[in-house]
């Protein structure tokens, strides 16, 4: 009888363990399909010149004028200054947690975050922020900034940013430099990458109550350029 009981307990324990989500490890990159092509110790993307001169300025020439520097609100959507966030020229002022390597179909590598831990079913993803990531005023990028970004985008932001919280079941700070997203059934396989590509804004530099108002005040970002 005792042997049967021991076997039953062992079998039950094995079944319970087999039902647990597979353990994963933080990675330097994530991909829509398969694994990222670049190794963890990569220095730069193949199309980047690390010896390019630093400094200088970028001037955009567009048709019409602009009356807003905040690219995340619905008001003045078509008259917001170019270059604040730009899929063509890069993340000049505001940056996401991860960035795309355009030599691959859809792979992302660390930017504000230095690693990501995504479960195999893509129901959650945890980002570890790079401790060296800073805003242009010298303040560090924190998990509180990530939480604030999604909160203010949900209440005051424009589509598609305002819609993304509808697919997030839980957003939490998990450590001094880490934040975790848990998704609901509305999220698809691509959504963890969409989250990773969402620009982050500094909590200390924005007032939630006035976030949806147009402004020409230079905004604080984390990118390589500032508005002058």
Q: Which of 181, 201, 57, 211 is nearest to 139 (CA)?
A: 201
Phi, psi dihedral angles at 29 (to 5 degrees)? -155, 160
What total of structural domains would you count in the chain? 1
Residue 157, domain member (yes or no): yes
Do the beta carbons of residue 149 and residue 198 sit within 8 Å?
yes
Residue with tokens 């989500």: 21
Residue 4, domain member (yes or no): no
Q: Give the dihedral sign, CA 196/152/167/140.
A: positive
Residue 185, domain member (yes or no): yes
Give the pair of three-digit tokens for residue 94.
Answer: 């505001």
Residue 219, domain member (yes or no): yes
Could you tell me the maximum CA-CA distance found in the chain, to the nearest angstrom? 85
Domain housing 93:
59-228
Do the beta carbons of residue 197 and residue 98 sit within 8 Å?
yes
Residue with tokens 């005040």: 217
Give me the residues paired with residue 108 across strands: 30, 100
What CATH number has the domain bearing residue 74?
Answer: 3.40.190.10
Residue 28, domain member (yes or no): no
Do the beta carbons of residue 174 and residue 181 sit within 8 Å?
no
- From residue 8, alpha-carbon distances to 5, 15, 17, 81, 138 in Å are 5, 11, 14, 67, 60
What confidence score (pLDDT) does residue 187 get? 96
What confidence score (pLDDT) does residue 87 get? 67
Residue 18, domain member (yes or no): no
Phi, psi dihedral angles at 182 (to 5 degrees)? -115, 130
Q: Give mean pLDDT in consecutive 10-residue pieces for the chain, a chain of 228 residues.
A: 45 45 78 95 93 85 82 86 75 94 95 97 98 98 98 95 94 98 97 97 97 94 90
Residue 15, domain member (yes or no): no
What confidence score (pLDDT) does residue 15 get? 44
Helix locations, 20-104, DSSP H? none
Do the beta carbons of residue 24 and residue 121 sit within 8 Å?
no
Residue 155, domain member (yes or no): yes
């Amino acid at each position: 009888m005792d042997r049967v009981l021991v076997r039953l307990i062992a079998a039950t324990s094995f079944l319970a363990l087999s039902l647990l989500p597979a353990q994963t490890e933080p990675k330097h990159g994530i991909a829509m399909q398969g694994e990222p092509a670049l190794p963890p110790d990569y220095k730069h993307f193949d199309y980047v010149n690390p010896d390019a001169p630093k400094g200088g300025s970028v001037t955009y020439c567009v048709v019409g004028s602009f009356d807003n520097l905040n690219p995340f609100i619905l008001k003045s959507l078509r008259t917001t200054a170019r270059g604040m966030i730009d899929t063509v020229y890069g993340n000049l002022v505001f940056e996401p947690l991860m960035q795309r390597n355009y030599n691959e179909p859809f792979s992302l590598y660390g930017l504000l975050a230095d690693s990501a831990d995504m479960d195999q079913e893509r129901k959650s993803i945890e980002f570890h922020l790079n401790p060296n990531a800073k805003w242009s005023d010298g303040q560090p990028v924190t998990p509180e900034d990530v939480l604030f970004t999604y909160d203010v985008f949900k209440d005051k932001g424009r589509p598609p940013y305002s819609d993304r919280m509808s697919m997030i079941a839980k957003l939490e700070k998990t450590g001094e430099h880490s934040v975790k997203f848990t998704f609901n059934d509305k999220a698809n396989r691509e959504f963890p990458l969409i989250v990773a590509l969402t620009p982050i804004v500094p909590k200390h530099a924005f007032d939630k109550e006035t976030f949806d108002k147009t402004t020409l005040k230079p905004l604080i970002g984390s990118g390589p350029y500032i508005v002058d």
